[in-house]
């Protein structure tokens, strides 16, 4: 496995955000999106007394990062799970509370780099896009079987694609002749369906459609909606969570959960706010932090990253 192929995004900033909670002996940190193990390796190296629990739904990622993290022995526990299953995973491991949680959302470098996974629109490959290829429907099945209205909704909502209707009309016309199996044919169809002006801006015209299909295939937003509140719930008081998002839909979800946790729930007009209404989170970032220009120059995949952090400051009221 080449080290050059995976540069963890905003690595130092993530470590800095989590550091105050992980410096204590015996701290437990969860990497909810293990991928190739870049963030996990840095967490284990930087905090030598910390124990790591790392989750990934992709068996290939677990195998590769397992080799990378082998030198840390039993300080690292790797689990095949989707990140909204975090509370169940911790329960099985006999862990009540953790000191740190990290999410690095989106597709891992490995999934993008390996053509046969079908995530990348730049090379021809089977239209799969499942992060765990042992389960669920592929992108080809979504394209070939979903009703047109549903496809339009997916492209508009998950891809923020203005020309969703045009693209779907072309997909429906083409799939009637022959089902979709490969990415090149879809990329070509999108190019032909879009008006000339739309092709001149914003990178590859297929980018938004591929993002939308990937989110649908992996249920990413519904999983995230459950995962972020669940992760906050696993934090001990003083524990910290850092989340890297790569598009506005993910970032909006994270922002909502953090903002809700950092807001008092007291009825208006109380002279003194009782403990049970006090905020349970403190925000650690002002808005979303962005990668530096140097980082984007070194790793173009960092460009859309948005980082938010929060600290647990009190237990839930009974």
Do 179 and 204 sit in the same domain of this protein? Answer: yes
> What domain count does the chain have?
2
The average confidence (pLDDT) of the chain is: 89
DSSP code for 266 = P
Structure pTM? 0.83
CATH of the domain at 188: 1.10.150.170
**105 located within any domain:** yes
Q: How confident is the model at residue 110 (pLDDT cuts 50, 70, 90)?
A: very low
* Least confident piece of the model among 91-105, 108-122, 204-218: 108-122
Domain ranges, residue 121: 115-218
Q: What sections of the chain are H helices per DSSP?
A: 11-22, 38-46, 59-69, 86-92, 109-113, 139-145, 148-159, 164-177, 183-193, 196-199, 207-218, 220-234, 248-261, 293-298
Q: Please enumerate, by residue number, every residue annotated as part of a binding site.
A: 37-39, 56, 83, 104, 111
Q: Please give the residue that has the higher pLDDT: either 206 or 93.
A: 93
Q: Please enumerate, by residue number, every residue annotated as part of a binding site for S-adenosyl-L-methionine.
A: 37-39, 56, 83, 104, 111
176-218 residue pLDDT tens: 999 999 989 999 999 999 887 666 666 678 888 998 999 999 8
Q: How confident is the model at residue 273 (pLDDT cuts 50, 70, 90)?
A: confident
109 contacts 36 by C-beta, under 8 angstroms: yes
Q: How confident is the model at residue 220 (pLDDT cuts 50, 70, 90)?
A: confident
Q: d(Cα 138, Cα 96) in Å, to the nearest integer?
A: 36
Do 188 and 274 sit in the same domain of this protein? Answer: no
- Which residues touch 240 (CB under 8 Å, ≥6 apart)? 17, 18, 20, 21, 22, 99, 100, 101, 284, 309, 310, 311, 312
């Amino acid at each position: 496995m080449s080290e050059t192929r995976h540069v963890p995004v905003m690595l130092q900033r993530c470590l800095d955000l989590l550091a105050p909670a992980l410096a204590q002996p015996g701290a437990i940190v969860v990497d909810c999106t293990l991928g190739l193990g870049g963030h996990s390796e840095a967490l284990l190296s930087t905090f030598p007394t910390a124990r790591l629990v790392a989750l990934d739904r992709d068996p290939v990622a677990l195998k590769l990062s397992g080799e990378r993290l082998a030198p840390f022995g039993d300080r690292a526990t790797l689990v095949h799970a989707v990140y909204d299953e975090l509370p169940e995973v911790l329960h099985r491991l006999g862990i009540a509370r953790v000191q740190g949680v990290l999410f690095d959302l989106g597709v891992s470098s490995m999934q993008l780099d390996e053509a046969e996974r079908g995530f990348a629109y730049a090379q021809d490959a089977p239209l799969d896009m499942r992060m765990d290829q042992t389960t669920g429907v592929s992108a080809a099945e979504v394209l070939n079987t979903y009703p047109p209205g549903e496809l339009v909704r997916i492209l508009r909502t998950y891809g923020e694609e203005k020309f969703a209707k045009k693209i779907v009309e072309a997909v429906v016309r083409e799939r009637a002749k022959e089902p979709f199996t490969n990415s090149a044919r879809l990329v070509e169809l999108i190019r032909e369906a879009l008006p000339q002006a739309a092709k001149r801006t914003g990178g590859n015209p297929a980018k938004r459609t591929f993002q939308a299909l990937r989110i649908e295939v992996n249920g990413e937003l519904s999983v995230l909606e459950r995962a972020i509140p669940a992760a906050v719930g696993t934090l001990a008081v003083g524990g910290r969570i850092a989340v890297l998002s790569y598009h506005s839909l993910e970032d909006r979800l994270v922002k909502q959960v953090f903002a809700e946790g950092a807001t008092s729930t007291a009825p208006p007009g109380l002279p003194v706010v009782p403990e049970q209404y006090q905020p349970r989170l403190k925000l650690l970032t002002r808005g979303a932090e962005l990668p530096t220009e140097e980082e984007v120059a070194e790793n173009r995949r960092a460009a859309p990253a948005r980082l938010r952090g929060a600290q647990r400051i009190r237990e839930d009221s009974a």
